[in-house]
């Protein structure tokens, strides 16, 4: 792969918006035809650290990716135009050296096949982005853009935690319940759409 890809793009998360619902993981497994929702089969992974700080990890299509260099079987390569990973399942032995080499947590081992899996952007229209009820995911073109969203959320973490703590101490449940209800409505809407899509696939 050349030092610079022509059209590098990848999915980035805003931890300030992410609620850790896992809809992105579900959308990914539905799109990839996994048959059941299993986060271990998803190309995007949700990390739930606290009620006010959750985020998702996926492949960034790095320049000169470490995972590619680390693979002892030469099962990984990258698209010269997009930087997206190309995984040769016939060569991949599931050793997970690529997983250990990735500094972004963007590659994992499929729970059933034992082969490496990574985001391929769903041919330019990632279903995780489309399905996120909080619009916490978007396509970006640089590490700087992704890191800015992450760092901005980190900077606001203390203030958000203080606000949440005060709300709970005061037993001010009404705004919390109202927010929870709105989020539940959004999640339900996205789940219904995904379930409908899955049923349509099975009927074909």
Q: Residue 79: is its pLDDT beyond 70?
A: yes
Across residues 152-170, what is the average pLDDT?
A: 90
Let me know if residue 5 belongs to a domain: no
pTM for the model stands at: 0.84
Let me know if residue 143 belongs to a domain: yes
Let me know if residue 157 belongs to a domain: yes
pLDDT value for 4: 53
Tokens of 48: 């739930």
Let me know if residue 39 belongs to a domain: yes
pLDDT value for 201: 75
Let me know if residue 126 belongs to a domain: yes
Q: Report how far residue 137's alpha carbon sits from residue 121's, in angstroms, rounded to the nearest whole number.
A: 12
Over pLDDT 70: what percentage of the chain? 96
Q: Report how far residue 33's alpha carbon sits from residue 54's, in angstroms, rounded to the nearest whole number.
A: 26
pLDDT value for 3: 43
What are the strands, taking DSSP E only, across 42-201?
Answer: 45-50, 53-57, 76-78, 85-87, 107-109, 116-118, 137-140
- Quickly state the pLDDT bin for 5 (edges 50, 70, 90): low
Helix or strand (DSSP H, E) at 144: helix 143-169
- CATH, residue 69: 3.30.70.20
- Lowest mean pLDDT, pick from 46-55, 63-72, 151-160: 46-55
Which residue matches tokens 């539940």?
184
Q: Average pLDDT, whole number, for the chain?
A: 90
- Lowest mean pLDDT, pick from 20-24, 111-115, 181-185, 198-202: 198-202
Angstrom CA distances, 112 to 1, 38, 67, 99, 109, stand at 30, 10, 21, 16, 9
Let me know if residue 115 belongs to a domain: yes
Phi, psi (5° rounding) for residue 198?
-65, -40
Let me know if residue 141 belongs to a domain: yes
**Higher per-residue pLDDT: 74 or 168:** 74
Angstrom CA distances, 47 to 7, 22, 121, 128, stand at 28, 9, 20, 15
Q: Express each pLDDT in 120-137 by its tens digit.
A: 999 889 999 999 999 999
Q: Residue 146: is its pLDDT beyond 70?
A: yes
Let me know if residue 79 belongs to a domain: yes
pLDDT value for 1: 38
CB 12 within 8 A of CB 141: no
Which residue matches tokens 């896992």?
22
**How many residues are given for the chain?**
204
- Lowest mean pLDDT, pick from 2-6, 84-88, 92-96, 181-185: 2-6
Helix or strand (DSSP H, E) at 12: strand 10-13
Over pLDDT 90: what percentage of the chain? 69
CB 52 within 8 A of CB 10: no
Q: Report how far residue 36's alpha carbon sits from residue 170's, in angstroms, rounded to the nearest whole number.
A: 42
How many domains are contained in the chain?
1
Domain residues for the domain of 60 are: 10-203
Tokens of 44: 């995007």
């Amino acid at each position: 792969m050349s030092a610079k890809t022509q059209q590098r793009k990848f999915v980035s998360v805003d931890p300030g918006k992410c609620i850790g619902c896992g809809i992105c993981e579900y959308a990914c497994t539905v799109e990839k035809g996994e048959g059941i929702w299993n986060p271990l089969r998803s190309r995007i992974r949700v990390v739930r650290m606290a009620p006010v700080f959750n985020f998702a990890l996926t492949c960034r299509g790095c320049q000169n990716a470490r995972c590619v260099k680390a693979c002892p079987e030469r099962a990984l390569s990258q698209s010269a135009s997009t930087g997206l990973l190309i995984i040769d399942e016939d060569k991949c032995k599931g050793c997970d050296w690529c997983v250990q080499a990735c500094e972004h947590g963007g590659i994992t081992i499929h729970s059933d096949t034992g082969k490496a899996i990574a985001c391929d952007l769903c041919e330019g229209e990632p279903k995780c982005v489309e399905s996120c009820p909080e619009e916490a995911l978007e396509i970006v073109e640089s590490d700087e853009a992704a890191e800015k969203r992450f760092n901005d959320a980190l900077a606001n973490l203390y203030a958000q935690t203080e606000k949440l703590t005060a709300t709970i101490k005061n037993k001010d449940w009404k705004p919390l319940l109202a927010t929870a209800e709105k989020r539940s409505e959004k999640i339900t809407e996205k789940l219904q759409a995904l379930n409908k899509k899955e049923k349509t696939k099975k009927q074909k």
